[in-house]
A and B are shown apart, each in its own frame.
Chain A
Amino acid sequence: MTDAILNGLGALFEGVRFMLAHGGPNLIMIAVAGVMFWLAIAKGVEPLLLLPIAFGCLMVNLPLSEVMQADGVLKTLYDFGIGNELFPLLIFVGIGSMTDFTPLLANPRLLLFGAAGQLGIFITLLLALALGFSKEAAVSVAAIGACDGPTVIYVSNMFAGMDRIPTAMVGALAVAAYSYMALVPVIQPPIMRLLTTRKEREVKMPSPKGKISKTALIAFPIVVTIITGVIAPKGLPLMGMIMLGNFMKVSGVVPRLANAAENEIANIATLFLGLAIGGTMAGPQFLTRETLMVFGLGLVAITIDTVGGILLGKIWYLLSGGKVNPLVGAAGISAYPMAARLVQNEGQRWNKHNYLLMHAMGANTGGQIGSVMAAAIMLSLLKGLGII
């Protein structure tokens, strides 16, 4: 009887014993979860994603946790929606439904900023290869330059599913991507000021005059889906889902579906995706040299994206005889609408009568299309090269 009671009590403290004996990495990750809670709650850094990611991270790092074992709750969520890339795609439907392409259609040339804003992806890919990452891992890290969490998860998880990169790396990539997206207001302004002169920053741009018909707005998502499907079919799920969300919104005939995509579907997918990604952050697998390098390269990627956009803006400034404000180029990334607002604020800081918002919104939506297109082209290239 006494033995049974002692054994029972021993079982209750098994977790504590495990933590004391082998729990170093888990304790570090619990502290990381605490930092993410603080960032999300006290600092408002991407709380929609960081909060569930941090909670998943906490749960998986508690001693003897079974949440990521077969049939564990987080493993079930992972297999249900991350392992097959479903959750990122559902979030994309919501993003499409929240996006207004009108400023871009009013001034289509702004789409080119969305291409320049992807320079970070390809330069980071070279850097990651030089640092010894495998081809698949380098592509996954480079995808952080898309400034787009779902794209990063979609691309990296595809490789994790093929056992080309460790599953824990998906968590590191997702956290890096969302953290840097949240840090865009900190990262971009110094680069904007460093690369432009005061005269360039003060350039006033008149409001776009082109008006867009409803038919053109409805046709746009259909046409972009077709072009992506023909040129880069591996990326069709990504672009198709964004354009589906936008199509439902602009068609005006399915407001319930558009609202559901923007709210319920995106919210549920975000919660499950965050928890499942947090579940991949188990200390022993997560705390590696590669994880640190992922965070370093992610910062490089987003910095070079901004540099690429501003440099194109400077070229445009010269070619237009000083009519284009190069700051608009910084909005050519996928962080929507944060990057556009930053450009507006920075422009007004140097010239109070400057209203760059509509141009920046056009470049920003161009960045959204550009980031997905870059990922789609990378995946199709990998298929063409026989790597996937």
Chain B
Amino acid sequence: MNNVVFGLTMLVVGMGGTLATLFLITLVIHALAAFFPVRPDAKEAGK
């Protein structure tokens, strides 16, 4: 594989892969927030 093809492959797949994976993690964070919402603590709930 010559250097031009290698460099462009790394740029497109590397940058694209990083962006896509981080986007996936943002979705996972949203899911975590939905599955594990903040619950009011006992004192606040008793008021």
Which residues from chain A sit less than 8 Å from chain B, CB to CB? 104-105, 108-109, 111-112, 114-115, 118-119, 121-123, 125-126, 129-130, 135, 138-139, 210-213, 215-216, 219-220, 223-224, 227-228, 231-232, 366, 369-370, 373-374, 377-378, 381, 385
Contact = CB atoms under 8 A, between A and B. Distances in A.
B33 A374 contact: no
Q: Is the interface of A mostly helix, strand, loop or mixed?
A: helix
Given A139-B10, A232-B17, 6 more contacts: A108-B29, A112-B23, A129-B7, A130-B7, A213-B39, A228-B21
Contacts of A122: 10-11, 14-15
Given A111-B22, A213-B39, A378-B10, A220 B17 contact: no
Please indicate which of the listed interface residues B6, B14, B26 has the most CB atoms of chain A within 10 Å of its own CB. B14
Contacts, number: 110
B36 A115 contact: no
A237 to B, nearest CB: 17
A373 to B, nearest CB: 5
Nearest to A372: B18
B11 A219 contact: no
Contacts of B8: 126
Please indicate which of the listed interface residues B24, B26, B35 has the most CB atoms of chain A within 10 Å of its own CB. B26
A136 to B, nearest CB: 11
B28 A114 contact: no
A109 B19 CA distance: 12
A385 B18 contact: no
A109 B26 CA distance: 6
Contact of B24 (A104, A130, A227): A227
Contact of A105 (B6, B15, B18, B33): B33
B32 A227 contact: no
A248 B36 CA distance: 19
14 contacts: A112-B23, A119-B15, A122-B14, A130-B7, A135-B6, A210-B33, A215-B36, A216-B35, A220-B32, A223-B32, A224-B28, A227-B24, A370-B18, A381-B14
A377 B24 CA distance: 14
Contacts of B23: 111-112, 115
Contacts of A373: 18, 21-22
A232 B22 CA distance: 12
B38 interface: yes
